[in-house]
Amino acid sequence: MRVPAFARRAAMAALLVVIPCLDAPCAQQAAPAAPGALSVSRIFSGEFNARGVGQLRWIEGGRAFLTVEPAPGGRGREIVRHETATDARTVLVTAAQLTPPGATAPLAFEAFAWSDDNSKLLLFTNTRRVWRLNTRGDYWVLDRTSGALRKLGGEAQPSTLMFATFSPDGRWVAYVREHDMYAEELATGAITRLTRDGSRTSINGTSDWVYEEELGIRQAFQWSPDSKRILLWHFDASAVRDFLLINDTDSLYPFTTAIPYPKAGTTNSRVTLGVVAPTGGAVTWLAVEGDTAASYIGRAEWLDSASVLVQHLDRKQGRNDFWVGNATTGRGSVLWTDQDSAWVLVQETRWVNGGKAGPLALVESERDGWRHVHSVSRKSGATTLLTPGDFDVSLAGVDEKGGILYVMASPGDAIHDYLYRVPLKGGKAVRVTPGDQPGTHRYDISPDGRWALHTVSRHDAPPRTEIVRLPSHEVVRVLEDNAALRAKLEALGAPATEFFTVTTAQGLPVDGYVMRPRNFDPAKRYPVLVHIYGEPAGMTAADRWGGNTALFHRMIADQGYLVMSFDTRGTPSPKGRAWRKGIYGAVGATTAAEQAGALRAFAATHAYVDTSRVAIWGWSGGGTNTLNAMFREPGVFKVGMSVAPVPDQRLYDTIYQERYMGLPQENVAGYRLGSAINHAEGLEGKLLIVHGSGDDNVHYQGTERLVNRLIELGKRFDMMVYPNRSHGIYEGAGTTVHVYTLLQRYLNEHLPAGGR
């Protein structure tokens, strides 16, 4: 029986440990800040935000690109074409053209798209957030020939349309509205409703919560190349249990928001794929083999106007079948299968012309122990390894005319990431990124493979973005160098972050970094704050711009701490399959010991590390591993700050948790061993738990269960709950500053700063 909301909150209030004095001046008493020094308020004021290049997109194969720029006089924005080679600038759409009839101001748009013939412009405005991103709003179409600007959707309520998309021939726009699919003919304004069963548990054209969160699927429909049909996804979530988020603050009486949320081992949505004409009529459902409530549709796309490619994964995600189906009959067969005893990747396929071999799909697989690019023949399913070698790669782009495959790789250097080129038929990888540019590099390569938008950053250096010519890497033009921010950072006078690799007593090579105080004295011994994530979804020890979190760590270091981080096994470091997947079925079981081992190994050769004064903190998976560290390695970690953790792996979603742990019904021991709540009796140090009660991702439920367990064990701890905040705990004025001030003060109070 569900406990009434008022009873749950009354219990919570009784358990809450009030932490006074959260204002920044009080929090910094342990280490007064010098004038101009970093503070939490200053860090999160926006002063140190790095500038980007905004909505830049390639057109004409790469000959030019588009940007959105402020209009003259500052009223609205305009869309501008830039010649890639020369930067010749042409305003394609003015702010005046984007002003609706009778309006006094141009539309404030968040995104835009062109029709294939560039005669029409689609604008996304008046947007609303749906879970992670703004995906619901209003759409307008500008006819560049006539100058007509009109809103789509007919009599639809404001901000109810999702994922509006031009047909390739420019005649139609398809979109989702209130869980149903629609197609609107632009010449007449006629709207055709393509599905009629839409509801919160019958979802057409977009995805359910877990597919969006873990497979990145939001828009769940696609036009055929000939514009005659639409491939759409349907989610039947009727068998998925609701999770209720309780809102106690926004009305006189609490109310709930129900989310169909499948927890590990429970029932998923049943997903089906259909094909329908924009004029309406019967939907042809594809006969993908198996029960899709017990498996996953990872991707679905048109191969041509007659056939579709579906990536079909089993429930454990150890097998991915590339299924090719006939869009008219709905029948098909498996072309190629990727398989792994742990988990496989969902592919973002790229098709190239294989000559006599026919079309080739470029895919990534770890079948030889490293992540490599392979080509798969559409005719036969035959597979060819294109990037041999004992290193990981990821596909970055293709120059078909030049016969070049571009990949990201970093042989023997997991903290950086560089661009390499490989013959499209396979062969040796040659580095393209200049050797004198350490750091993390990102490339948005033009469709023709001749140009790239190149961004490079380092842990202590904000991003620099430029246009480069490929494969020479000649810099054609710098678009943003963040010079003002670089100067501001240099004025802080902070020592450079040091990256290193240590070998633990068990022989494990672990990458990490250390940030030292500005007044560092190697003759003294300093307390340590370890920042942890430690799960397959992310790295922390990478030489890339860390933004506000890194600046927070710099502020902590300057108070008199060593701030350190380690990437242990299971993190997505480019160190091969065994490194990433060696934790399969045992996530959380070894991380704390490996983190402690890496710290000991570093301290063994660096006398300034005070191993008797060590704190640890992390968010999400890092919050989980903070709990593991405090419960499993109490002799090492004396203070822990756990934000939005998953104390019990059974409470997290099916796709993520089962991908790395298998099914809870089949891996009972693994789930028990990997869940921090089952080791809470080991807590000896000072522990702060922080959570948002409106977290739709990592439910506050898990923290409440952990609190009950700690009380049962008689353990002392501190806790802060942020009402109705989501997983990022950022909603509401002052929230972010409050969170980080809380973390700073807790550290200062329970692990005083300064060398001894």
Q: What is the pLDDT of residues 271-290, one digit of tens each?
A: 999 999 999 999 999 999 87
7 pLDDT higher than 80: no
184 CB-near residues (< 8 Å, 6+ apart):
152, 153, 154, 172, 173, 174, 175, 190, 191, 192
Helix (H) / strand (E) containing 376: strand 372-377
Residue 305 has pLDDT above 60, yes or no: yes
pLDDT of residue 290: 76
**Separation CA 589–CA 572 (nearest Å):** 17
Band (pLDDT 50/70/90 cuts) for residue 12 is very low
The pLDDT of residue 293: 78
The fraction of the chain above a pLDDT of 90, given in percent, is 92
Rg for the chain, CA atoms, rounded:
27
CA distance 206 to 84: 35
Report the residue count for the chain: 756
The amino acid at residue 471 is P
Report DSSP letters for 159-193, one per residue: T-EEEEEE-TTSSEEEEEETTEEEEEETTT--EEE
Calculate mean pLDDT across residues 557-578: 98
- CA angle, 556 then 558 then 559, to 5°: 65
The CATH architecture that domain 18-46+496-750 belongs to is: 3-Layer(aba) Sandwich (3.40)
Regarding predicted confidence, which is higher, 34 or 151? 151
pLDDT of residue 41 exceeding 50, the answer is: yes
Q: Please answer whether residues 314 and 297 qualify as being in contact, where contact means their C-beta atoms are separated by less than 8 angstroms.
A: no
Backbone dihedral angles phi then psi of residue 256, each to the nearest 5 degrees: -120, 155
Residues 706 and 680 sit within 8 Å (Cβ to Cβ): yes
What token pair was written down for 189?
């304004």
197 pLDDT above the threshold of 80: yes
- Distance in angstroms (rounded) separating the CA atoms of residues 183 and 194: 7
CA–CA dist 606, 254 (Å, integer) = 54
Tell me how far apart the alpha carbons of residues 293 and 236 are, in angstroms, rounded to a whole number.
9
Hey, where are the domains in the chain? 18-46+496-750, 197-326, 340-458+461-483
d(CA 432, CA 473): 7
Find, among 219, 223, 231, the residue nearest to 169 by Cα: 223
Structure tokens that stand for 313 in this block: 């994964």
How confident is the prediction for the chain on average, in pLDDT?
94
Residue 30's pLDDT is what?
40
**pLDDT exceeds cutoff 90 at 20:** no
User: What are 108-167's pLDDT values in tens digits?
Assistant: 999 999 999 999 999 999 999 998 899 999 999 999 999 999 999 999 999 999 999 999
- Identify residue 84 by its one-letter amino acid code: T
Q: What is the DSSP letter of 199?
A: B
Integer Cα distance of 378 and 382 in angstroms: 8
How high is the pLDDT of residue 23? 36
Higher pLDDT, 36 or 225: 225
- pLDDT tier for residue 34 given thresholds of 50, 70 and 90: low
Q: What is the mean pLDDT of residues 623-628?
A: 99
How do residues 43-91 score in pLDDT, each as one tens digit?
Answer: 999 999 999 998 899 999 999 999 999 999 888 999 999 999 999 999 9
pLDDT for res 291: 76
Query: 477-517 pLDDT, tens per residue?
Result: 999 999 999 999 999 999 999 999 999 999 999 999 999 99
- 719-755 pLDDT, tens digit per residue, is 999 999 999 999 999 999 999 999 999 999 999 999 9
pLDDT of 386 strictly over 80: yes
Q: pLDDT-derived band of residue 36, with 50, 70 and 90 as boundaries?
A: low
Helix H or strand E encompassing 552: helix 547-558
Confidence band of 372 (pLDDT split at 50, 70, 90):
very high
> Is 441 within 8 Å of 456 (Cβ atoms)?
yes
pLDDT mean over 682-701? 98
214/317 Cα distance (integer angstroms): 12
Q: Which pLDDT band, with edges at 50, 70 and 90, does 435 fall under?
A: very high
Fold of the 340-458+461-483 domain: Neuraminidase (2.120.10)
Half-sphere exposure of 726 (CA within 13 A, CB side): 12
- pLDDT range class, residue 105, cuts 50, 70, 90: very high
What band does 358 get if pLDDT is binned at 50, 70 and 90? confident
Backbone torsions φ then ψ of 701, nearest 5 degrees: -50, -40
Q: Are 436 and 473 in contact (CB under 8 A)?
A: no
Nearest to 290 by CA among 262, 263, 321: 321
Share of the chain above pLDDT 70, in %: 95
Signed CA dihedral, 151, 153, 155, 161: sign only: negative
The SS3 assignment for 627 reads helix
CB 646 within 8 A of CB 694: no
Q: What is the DSSP letter of 653?
A: B
Residue 320, pLDDT > 70, answer yes
Cα–Cα distance measured from residue 366 to residue 541, given in angstroms and rounded to the nearest whole number: 23
Beta strand 718-722 pairing with 109-114: unpaired
- pTM, full prediction: 0.93
Element (H, E) at 486: helix 483-491
